[in-house]
């Protein structure tokens, strides 16, 4: 009898011991964006440091397509054992509004683990555009409705939403041109194919460095440390304007919260690391490293405004 009791006790304790031992093997970050982009760069930077912190390999797997649904589905189909996480962004907020039917119940099916970083966005113009500052740019848009083209990556992304909100707040009309990625929009403003862009600080760097584009304003509520001379939209033409791009780590519902908390703590430590910050400063990112509770609050604060912009502007994936 004692032997059977001992066996039963050891069997019941096995899951707890396995959980306490996390991580005991490779962790997978499924990134919903292409390799080389801002989100991928951030995932690789923190992933490498998290690997050092936890003592286990962190593998980055890029799964693009379907407005992030391909990556989201891969995570939902994986075992809920704490070894597969999703690196996602605004799709978590926009897909429920844009997709009918929605592929997931995003608020229930995904657990916010930790925000990785914010990506401030900029309004940039081609090098010979007549407006020299954001105030003159707004005046030009008002005087020339639907004559100025603006590119974003992609349709219905945070840059598109920021541009539509900018237009609504300032009472202007401009011609939207969606691109697959920020690099594509940057390429066309470099060539003078489009008049302006609303892209991340990272994506605008090549055309600016080449002297083919100028930055007029940033979309964040505070000035960007790497662009201290560039004003915010909020301080110059639209008080309270604040629409960054961002990304973060998510788990599928059912992954033990103890594991999510451990990963969040490791991500926070990685975001504070001087080497990670130096690498991401160059990309214009502002590191976060939030708790699951803090990341959830961040998402809930954004959810209403994002839905409002999509519906008011009639944004669709088509």
Residues 200, 173: Cα–Cα separation, whole Å: 21
* pLDDT mean over 182-197: 95
pLDDT digits (tens, 9 = 90+) for 57-103: 999 999 998 989 999 999 999 999 999 999 999 999 999 999 999 99
Query: Last residue of a domain, which of 236, 262, 290?
Result: 236
Place of tokens 């707004």: 138
64 vs 267 pLDDT, higher one: 267
Confidence of residue 318 (pLDDT cuts 50, 70, 90): low
* Kind plus residue range of the DSSP H or E element containing 195: none
pLDDT at residue 11 is higher than 50: no
In this prediction, residue 18 carries a pLDDT of: 44
pLDDT at residue 17 is higher than 50: no
* pLDDT mean over 183-203: 94
Confidence of residue 14 (pLDDT cuts 50, 70, 90): very low
Nearest alpha carbon to residue 235 among 221, 215, 216? 221
Identify whether residues 195 and 56 lie together within a single domain.
Answer: no
Max distance between CA atoms of the chain, in angstroms, equals 89
Strand order in 58-62's β-sheet? 58-62, 27-31, 84-88, 245-252, 110-119, 286-287
In this prediction, residue 207 carries a pLDDT of: 96
Going by their DSSP bridges, the two strands 149-152 and 286-287 should be labelled as unpaired
* pLDDT mean over 197-203: 92
What are residue 152's DSSP bridge partners?
A: 178
Identify whether residues 128 and 218 lie together within a single domain.
Answer: yes
CA 218 to chain centroid, in Å, comes to: 16
Query: Last residue of a domain, which of 183, 201, 236?
Result: 236
Report CA-CA distances (Å) from 103 to 72, 309, 316.
9, 21, 16
Structural contact between residues 177 and 194, judged by C-beta atoms closer than 8 angstroms: yes
| Domain of residue 137, residue span | 121-236
* Kind plus residue range of the DSSP H or E element containing 197: strand 196-200
Confidence of residue 221 (pLDDT cuts 50, 70, 90): very high
Query: Last residue of a domain, which of 188, 218, 236?
Result: 236
Nearest alpha carbon to residue 122 among 206, 20, 199? 199
Identify whether residues 148 and 207 lie together within a single domain.
Answer: yes
Q: Residue 61 is encoded by which pair of tokens?
A: 């797997």
Confidence of residue 44 (pLDDT cuts 50, 70, 90): very high
Does residue 39 form part of some domain? yes
Identify whether residues 163 and 270 lie together within a single domain.
Answer: no
pLDDT digits (tens, 9 = 90+) for 96-152: 999 999 999 999 999 999 999 999 999 999 999 999 999 999 999 999 999 999 999
Identify whether residues 166 and 258 lie together within a single domain.
Answer: no
In this prediction, residue 15 carries a pLDDT of: 47
Identify whether residues 181 and 220 lie together within a single domain.
Answer: yes
pLDDT digits (tens, 9 = 90+) for 222-265: 999 889 999 999 999 999 999 999 999 999 999 999 999 999 99
317 vs 175 pLDDT, higher one: 175
In this prediction, residue 16 carries a pLDDT of: 46
In this prediction, residue 253 carries a pLDDT of: 98
Identify whether residues 126 and 229 lie together within a single domain.
Answer: yes
Identify whether residues 194 and 212 lie together within a single domain.
Answer: yes
Residues 290, 185: Cα–Cα separation, whole Å: 31
Share above pLDDT 70 across residues of the chain, in percent, rounded to a whole number: 93
Q: Give how many domains the chain has, as a whole number.
A: 2
């Amino acid at each position: 009898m004692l032997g059977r009791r001992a066996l039963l006790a050891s069997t019941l304790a096995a899951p707890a011991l396995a959980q306490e031992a996390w991580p005991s093997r490779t962790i997978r970050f499924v990134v919903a964006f292409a390799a080389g982009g801002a989100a991928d760069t951030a995932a690789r930077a923190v992933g490498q440091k998290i690997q050092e912190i936890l003592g286990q390999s962190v593998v980055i797997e890029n799964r693009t397509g379907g407005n992030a649904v391909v990556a989201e589905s891969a995570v939902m189909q994986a075992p809920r054992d704490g070894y597969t996480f999703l690196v996602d962004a605004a799709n978590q907020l926009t897909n429920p509004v844009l997709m009918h039917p929605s592929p997931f119940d995003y608020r229930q099916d995904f657990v916010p683990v930790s925000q990785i970083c914010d990506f401030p966005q900029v309004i940039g113009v081609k090098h010979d555009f007549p407006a020299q500052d954001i105030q003159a740019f707004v005046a030009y848009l008002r005087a020339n409705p639907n004559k100025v083209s603006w590119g974003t990556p992609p349709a219905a992304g945070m840059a598109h939403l920021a541009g539509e909100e900018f237009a609504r707040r300032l009472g202007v009309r401009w011609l939207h041109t969606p691109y697959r990625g920020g690099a594509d929009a940057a390429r066309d403003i470099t060539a003078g194919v489009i008049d302006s862009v609303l892209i991340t600080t990272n994506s605008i760097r090549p055309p600016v460095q080449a002297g083919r584009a100028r930055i007029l304003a940033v979309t964040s509520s505070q000035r960007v440390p790497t662009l201290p001379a560039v004003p915010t939209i909020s301080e110059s033409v639209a008080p309270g304007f604040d629409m960054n791009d961002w990304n973060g780590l998510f788990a599928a519902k059912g992954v033990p919260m103890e594991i999510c908390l451990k990963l969040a703590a490791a991500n926070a430590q990685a975001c504070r690391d001087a080497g990670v910050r130096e690498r991401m400063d160059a990309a214009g990112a502002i590191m976060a490293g939030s708790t699951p509770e803090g990341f959830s609050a961040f998402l809930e604060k954004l959810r209403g405004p994002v839905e409002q912009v999509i519906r008011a502007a009639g944004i669709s994936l088509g």
